Amino acid sequence: MTPAEALATLIRPALAILGGPFAGREAECMLLAIGLQESGFRVRVQDRGGPAHGFWQFEPGSRGGIRRVASAGDRRILEAIVRLGYPLDDAGILYEGPLYRVLAIPKGDRIACFLARGLLWMIPAPLPTLGDEEEAWLQYEHQWGPGKPDRARWADAYPQALAAVRA
C-alpha cells in the first residue's frame, strides 16, 4: 500500500470515526510515518517470525500497546473499538487475545489505527507540527520503544508521510 493509499483508505477514515481532537493533519502525518517505519504498510505480521501484528506492529503483553491503550488511553478509543465488535472484559480491558489476532488481517486495520492513535494520544506533549521530523522521531521512539531504532529509515519514512499529508 502506498502512503497515499494508506492515508486515503485507512488513516483518514479511522480518524473520521474517532473525530474531534483525534483527527488532524499532525495525527495523519504521525500515523503514516510510524506505519511506514514499522511495516511499510506491506505486512501485518512481523517479519522473521516476530510477535508484532498490524501495520503499526503491536505486540502482546503489557508493553505491546493494546493493554497500554486499554488501561491508560482515552475511553473514546476503546468505545470505537467496541463499536467494531470487540468487547471489554469485566475489568474494562479489551480482550487482548482476539483483538491481537485480528490485527494480523485486513479486518483489523482500523482497530490498529485506533490503537496507534491511542498511543500517540497518551503523550503529554502535543503532536509535532508538520515538518518537525526530530520531534516526531522522539515521540515515536518514546511510545513505540522499538527494539532496534532505525533513525535512517525514519529519515526516509517521515518525508514520505509529510508529502502525502500535504498533497
Q: What is the pLDDT of residue 81?
A: 86
C-alpha separations of 152 from 48, 127, 149 in Å: 21, 21, 9
Residue type, 61: G
Q: Which residue matches cell numbers 520531534? A: 135
Q: Nearest CA to 53 among 42, 44, 61?
A: 44
Q: What is the pLDDT of residue 93?
A: 62
Which residues contact residue 70 at a Cβ distance below 8 angstroms, ignoring those fewer than 6 apart? 78, 88, 92, 93, 94, 96
Q: What is the pLDDT of residue 94?
A: 64
What are the domain boundaries of the chain?
Answer: 3-42+50-166
Q: Which residue matches cell numbers 503483553? A: 61
Neighbouring CB atoms inside 10 A of 125's CB total: 9
Low-confidence ranges of the chain (pLDDT < 70): 61-64, 73, 89-97
